[in-house]
């Protein structure tokens, strides 16, 4: 989970543009300054509200998007980013705190455990993931040594929600991390995903 997680519910259909096609091995994220939530973001320095910010990173969009099926805890496997994503989505939807914690890098597990010990936080998190509907991986990117996995959820009403999982490769496989929770570049990526500014 990141500070941006619950904003995903307002994503709307803009995320559907992610599935338009693979554009090679680099992605450009373009956002209007006024669309960025935190105007203190260092990448907005000396820019006006109608200006744009662009960043280009190694990455790709998937066409078609790859379905992410929920699994049981006994099936959890962190050998690839895709498998880690399935474990994260499944643990959160199942509401299994110990599994949710296990999905994180070891150095963050204590903090995650404290966060999930709050019944309201746990309930809100589980509800969010259960409401995603059918999930699929729509793309990925690399930032500061981390792998970002873009997930789209499509509920029964056809409403789309996006989340970006941040993964780190560890000796025990790919694990979730909050390391980019306050990263300015990550915020630009997040905003671009929700405003259709990815190419």
Max Cα separation, the chain? 51
Helices (H), 32-152: 81-94, 97-102, 109-116, 119-130
pLDDT bracket for residue 22 (50, 70, 90)? very low
Taking the C-alpha atoms of residue 163 and residue 186, their distance in angstroms, rounded to an integer, is 12
User: How big is the chain, counted in residues?
Assistant: 199
Instruction: Name the residue among 14, 16, 62, 23 with its Cα closest to residue 199.
Output: 23
Taking the C-alpha atoms of residue 196 and residue 199, their distance in angstroms, rounded to an integer, is 9
pTM of the entire predicted model: 0.86
The backbone torsions φ and ψ at residue 31, rounded to the nearest 5 degrees and listed phi first, read -135, 150
Check which CATH number belongs to the domain holding 49 and give it. Answer: 3.10.450.50
Q: Looking at residue 16, what is its pLDDT?
A: 36
The tally of domains found in the chain comes to 1
Q: Looking at residue 24, what is its pLDDT?
A: 52
Taking the C-alpha atoms of residue 28 and residue 197, their distance in angstroms, rounded to an integer, is 8
Please list, in sequence order, all residues whose beta carbon lies within 8 angstroms of the beta carbon of residue 18, skipping any fewer than 6 positions away.
61, 65, 138, 139, 150, 152, 162, 193, 198
Taking the C-alpha atoms of residue 123 and residue 64, their distance in angstroms, rounded to an integer, is 33
Provide the domain limits for residue 47: 5-195
In tens, the pLDDT along 89-144 reads 999 999 999 999 999 999 999 999 999 999 999 999 999 999 999 999 999 999 99
């Amino acid at each position: 989970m990141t500070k941006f997680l619950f904003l995903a519910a307002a994503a709307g259909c803009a995320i559907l543009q992610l599935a338009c096609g693979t554009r090679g091995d680099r992605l450009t994220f373009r956002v209007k300054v006024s669309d960025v939530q935190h105007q203190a973001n260092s990448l907005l320095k000396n820019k006006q509200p109608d200006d744009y910010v662009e960043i280009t990173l190694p990455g790709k969009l998937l066409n078609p998007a790859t379905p992410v099926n929920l699994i049981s805890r006994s099936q959890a496997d962190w050998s690839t980013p895709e498998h880690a994503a399935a474990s994260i989505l499944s643990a959160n939807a199942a509401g299994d705190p110990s599994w949710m914690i296990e999905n994180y890098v070891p150095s963050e597990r204590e903090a995650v455990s404290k966060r999930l010990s709050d019944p309201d936080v746990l309930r809100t998190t589980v509800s969010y993931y259960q409401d995603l509907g059918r999930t699929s991986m729509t793309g990925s990117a690399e930032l500061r040594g981390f792998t970002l996995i873009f997930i789209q959820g499509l509920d029964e009403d056809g409403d789309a929600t996006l989340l970006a999982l941040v993964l780190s490769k560890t000796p025990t496989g790919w694990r979730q991390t909050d390391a980019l929770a306050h990263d300015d570049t990550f915020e630009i990526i997040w905003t671009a995903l929700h405003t259709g500014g990815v190419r």
